[in-house]
């Protein structure tokens, strides 16, 4: 979005044992998409004052595994504002990881976050629901 301040959102949360879906405490990749949905909702509220609707992902890339106990930071940014559509990019990063090799409650803050998932997609806000004060591109 040239000549405009970026509209971004970041949420951070810990994956629990209840989030683990597969053996070895592996978290289902779809959980990252649910986080991106929450980020998208916040982005739309910031821009339009409305939760809007997620229309489609056009790219999803699962890069690294996520396990119960990992802290995940999900980031999103609006990259284009259309008449009713908003294009967005997302990235989920592991920022803290458990260390069961040390003891059952040990964790490390990672020196460099590990990108676990990237995606891009489009959301829409019906014209009659928009309350933002911006100019459409």
Place of tokens 């019906």: 126
**Mean predicted confidence (pLDDT) in 74-88:** 96
- Residue range 16-60, pLDDT digits in tens: 999 998 989 999 999 999 999 999 999 999 999 999 999 999 999
Asked if the model's pLDDT at residue 3 lies above 60, the reply is: no
Backbone angles phi, psi at 134, to 5 degrees: -155, 170
Residues 88/125, Cβ–Cβ less than 8 Å: no
DSSP helix/strand/coil, 128: helix
Domain ranges of the chain: 8-129
pLDDT at 133: 59
Q: Which of 26, 30, 29 is closest to 69 using CA atoms?
A: 26
Four-CA torsion 104, 105, 109, 115, nearest 10 degrees: 50
Write the DSSP symbol of residue 46.
Answer: H
Average pLDDT over residues 71-88: 96
Q: Is the pLDDT of residue 137 over 70?
A: no
- CA-closest candidate to residue 60, choices 38, 86, 88: 88
Tell which CATH architecture fits domain 8-129: Roll (3.10)
**What pTM does this model have?**
0.89
| Cα-Cα-Cα-Cα dihedral sign, residues 128, 7, 70, 59 | positive
Of residues 90, 82, 89, 83, the one with CA closest to residue 116: 90
> 9: helix, coil or strand?
strand
Return the residue matching tokens 């951070």. Answer: 12
Quick one: pLDDT at residue 26?
94
- Please write the tens of the pLDDT for every residue from 100-131: 999 999 999 999 999 999 999 999 998 888 88
């Amino acid at each position: 979005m040239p000549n405009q301040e970026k509209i971004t959102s970041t949420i951070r949360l810990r994956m629990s044992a209840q989030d683990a879906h597969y053996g070895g405490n592996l978290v289902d990749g779809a959980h990252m998409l649910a986080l991106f949905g929450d980020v998208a909702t916040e982005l739309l509220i910031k821009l339009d004052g409305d939760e809007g609707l997620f229309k489609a992902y056009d790219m999803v890339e699962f890069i690294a595994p996520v396990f119960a106990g990992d802290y995940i930071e999900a980031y999103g940014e609006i990259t284009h504002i259309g008449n009713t559509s908003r294009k967005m990019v997302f990235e989920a990063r592991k920022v803290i990881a458990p260390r069961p090799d040390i003891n059952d409650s040990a964790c490390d803050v990672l020196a460099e976050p590990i990108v676990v998932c990237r995606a891009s997609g489009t959301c829409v806000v019906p014209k009659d629901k928009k309350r933002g004060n911006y100019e459409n591109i």
